[in-house]
């Protein structure tokens, strides 16, 4: 599956990256990780920290799949509001998911602090705008709901926004504790750290089949060699849908533009992350060198494939949206732009855990706009299970789940 098209920004920020060999022999390990994006890198890092013998194989190059097309906004809030999730699933599972997301974001910050340079996260606040007067009531309800459960949220009126920004909106939630990242640098830093801790890394080593051995292990054909493992973590993101479709998941096209560096971003309060209630929605952030990244305008994948060239028109629209909100940036031009495959689940939750048709496999599918945070949740859950720590709350993210997640065990709330 072609995951992105157009001119990508992140590789230009890290022109020299580590290279890893092709797997060309027979190896053994406890855990084989398939996929060298943010999900696989997090699993590799956590397994290495716990002293588990692991191998990671990537079909192409590390961090060059969906990770390279990510916009790197990290927020504890989901695309589906907490109030909406409570109405769908009930209070216990909905609040537990939001608290898991908040904890996962803090873990990502901790992990990044062990990395160097551009691999580190930058802490930011988030501004969630009511796109119209009709959206104010629901967004205020969300703010009250978040506050009721001790989650970061402050209500800003239209006057509050006008004091801080050059645009006008009828209201917004302002929340601290979120972050932005260079996803390409983060994954490369994480994989290098995992390699230093003993994880064996292989690029251009596609997994092209597996079978069970007499001893109950899994023999996987990877690259030009084979890996025999006790467990396999499948961390290939949206491409997983090509061989194991989830009935509650669907893929869309999303678009991103990145500007030239701005002369000044003084009219952007605290350089916070910006998103809004309109759907298809728009989101914006800045970069360390003063660029503006805008993304969104999600749409169906025509024929199930990412359309070539469609990103040109969509990125022009995104640049217009930047100028509309920040008139002082009207002379700012776009330097990069791309389209990418984006996955969502119908209920707003990721898919995490085993599947009855694939014994000893664990799947990590962080679908939704908060994919990196969900990947952190999933990596910790799966690695806990593999190291003897029961995660009964994994059931709410089951690949075989119904529309109602199972209640969260009291000791895990």
Amino acid 370: pLDDT: 85
Report the DSSP pairing between strands 26-34 and 225-234: parallel
CA pair distance 199, 55, nearest whole angstrom: 6
The size of the chain, in residues, is 413
Amino acid 248: pLDDT: 64
* pLDDT score of 369 more than 90: no
Q: How confident is the model at residue 300 (pLDDT cuts 50, 70, 90)?
A: confident
Amino acid 307: pLDDT: 86
* pLDDT score of 244 more than 60: no
Q: How confident is the model at residue 345 (pLDDT cuts 50, 70, 90)?
A: confident
Amino acid 243: pLDDT: 53
Amino acid 63: pLDDT: 95
Q: Which of 66-75, 106-115, 242-251 has the lowest mean pLDDT?
A: 242-251
Amino acid 413: pLDDT: 40
| Position with higher pLDDT, 366 vs 228 | 228
Report the DSSP pairing between strands 200-202 and 54-57: parallel
For the chain, state the CA radius of gyration: 21
CA pair distance 34, 218, nearest whole angstrom: 13
Mean pLDDT of 236-244: 60
| Position with higher pLDDT, 342 vs 125 | 125
Mean pLDDT of 357-368: 87
Report the DSSP pairing between strands 26-34 and 54-57: parallel
* pLDDT score of 408 more than 80: no
SS3 of the chain: CCCEEEECCHHHHCCCCCCCCCCCCEEEEEEEEECCCHHHHHHHHHHHHCCCCEEEECCCCCCCCHHHHCCCEECCCCCCCHHHHHHHHCHHHHHHHHHHHHHHHHHHHHHHCCCCHHHCCEEEEEEEECCCHHHHHHHHHHHHHHHHCCCCCEEEEHHHHHHHCCCCCCEEEEEEEEEECCHHHHHHHHHHHHHHCCCEEECCCCEEEEEECCCCCEEEEECCEEEEEEEEEECCHHHHHHCCCCCCEEEEEEEEEEECCCCCCCCCHHHCEEEECCCCCEEEEECCCCCEEEEEEEEECHHHCCCCCHHHHHHHHHHHHHHHHCHHHCCCCEEEEEEEEEEEECCCCCEEEEECCEEEEEEEECCCCCHHHHHHHHHHHHHHHHCCCCCHHHHHHCCCCCCCCCCCCHHHC
Non-local (6+) Cβ contacts of 73 within 8 A are 178, 180, 273, 275, 283, 285, 369
Q: How confident is the model at residue 214 (pLDDT cuts 50, 70, 90)?
A: confident
CA pair distance 407, 412, nearest whole angstrom: 11
Mean pLDDT of 317-338: 96
* pLDDT score of 252 more than 90: no
* pLDDT score of 411 more than 70: no
Amino acid 249: pLDDT: 67
Most confident region among 158-172, 225-239, 274-288, 291-305 by mean pLDDT: 158-172
Mean of the per-residue pLDDT values of the chain: 92
Report the percent of the chain where pLDDT is more than 90: 80
Mean pLDDT of 390-412: 72
Q: How confident is the model at residue 403 (pLDDT cuts 50, 70, 90)?
A: low
Mean pLDDT of 72-83: 94
The token pair that represents 368 in the structure block = 């939704």
Mean pLDDT of 362-372: 85
Q: Are 147 and 95 in contact (CB under 8 A)?
A: no
Q: Which of 22-26, 68-72, 357-361 has the lowest mean pLDDT?
A: 357-361
Q: Which of 41-50, 239-248, 368-377 has the lowest mean pLDDT?
A: 239-248
CB atoms inside a 10 Å sphere around CB 123 = 12
Q: How far is CA 159 from CA 171, 189, 191, in A?
A: 8, 42, 46
Amino acid 240: pLDDT: 58
Q: How confident is the model at residue 365 (pLDDT cuts 50, 70, 90)?
A: confident
CA pair distance 256, 236, nearest whole angstrom: 22
Q: Which of 26-40, 157-171, 246-260 has the lowest mean pLDDT?
A: 246-260
CA pair distance 399, 225, nearest whole angstrom: 30
Q: Which of 41-45, 141-145, 249-253 has the lowest mean pLDDT?
A: 249-253
Alpha carbon 159 to its chain's center: 33
Mean pLDDT of 286-291: 96
Q: Are 234 and 34 in contact (CB under 8 A)?
A: yes
Q: How confident is the model at residue 246 (pLDDT cuts 50, 70, 90)?
A: low
């Amino acid at each position: 599956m072609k995951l992105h098209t157009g001119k990508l920004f992140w590789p230009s920020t890290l022109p020299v990256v580590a290279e890893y060999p092709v797997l060309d022999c027979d190896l053994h390990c406890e855990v084989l990780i398939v996929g060298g994006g943010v999900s696989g890198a997090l699993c590799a890092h956590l397994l290495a920290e716990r002293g588990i013998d692991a191998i990671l194989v990537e079909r192409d190059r590390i961090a060059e799949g969906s990770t390279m097309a990510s916009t790197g906004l990290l927020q504890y809030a989901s695309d589906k509001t907490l109030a909406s999730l409570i109405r769908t699933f009930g209070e216990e599972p909905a609040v537990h998911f939001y608290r898991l997301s908040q904890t996962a974001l803090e873990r990502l910050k901790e992990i990044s602090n062990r990395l160097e340079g551009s691999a580190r996260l930058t802490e930011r606040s988030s501004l969630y705008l009511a796109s119209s007067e009709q959206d104010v009531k629901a967004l205020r309800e969300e703010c009250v709901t978040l506050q009721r459960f001790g989650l970061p949220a402050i209500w800003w009126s239209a006057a509050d926004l006008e004091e801080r920004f050059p645009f006008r909106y009828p209201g917004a939630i302002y929340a601290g504790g979120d972050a932005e990242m260079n996803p390409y640098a983060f994954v490369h830093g994480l994989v290098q750290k995992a390699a230093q801790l003993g994880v064996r890394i292989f690029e251009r080593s596609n997994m092209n089949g597996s079978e069970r051995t007499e001893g109950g292990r899994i023999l996987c054909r990877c690259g030009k060699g084979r890996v025999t493992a006790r467990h396999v973590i499948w961390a290939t993101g949206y491409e997983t849908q090509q061989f194991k479709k989830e009935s509650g998941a669907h893929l869309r096209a999303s678009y991103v533009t990145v500007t030239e560096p701005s002369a000044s971003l003084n009219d952007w309060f605290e350089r916070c992350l910006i998103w809004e209630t309109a759907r298809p929605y728009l989101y914006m952030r800045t970069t360390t060198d003063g660029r503006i990244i805008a993304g969104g305008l999600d749409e169906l994948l025509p024929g199930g494939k990412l359309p070539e060239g469609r990103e040109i028109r969509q990125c022009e629209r995104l640049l217009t949206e930047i100028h509309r909100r920040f008139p002082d940036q009207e002379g700012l031009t776009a330097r990069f732009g791309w389209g990418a495959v984006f996955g969502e689940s119908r209920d707003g939750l990721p898919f995490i855990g085993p599947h009855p048709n694939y014994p000893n496999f664990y799947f990590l599918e962080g679908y939704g706009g908060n994919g990196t945070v969900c990947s952190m949740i999933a990596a910790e859950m799966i690695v806990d299970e593999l190291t003897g720590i029961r995660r009964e709350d994994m059931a709410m993210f089951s690949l075989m789940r119904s529309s109602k997640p199972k209640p969260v065990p009291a000791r895990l709330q």
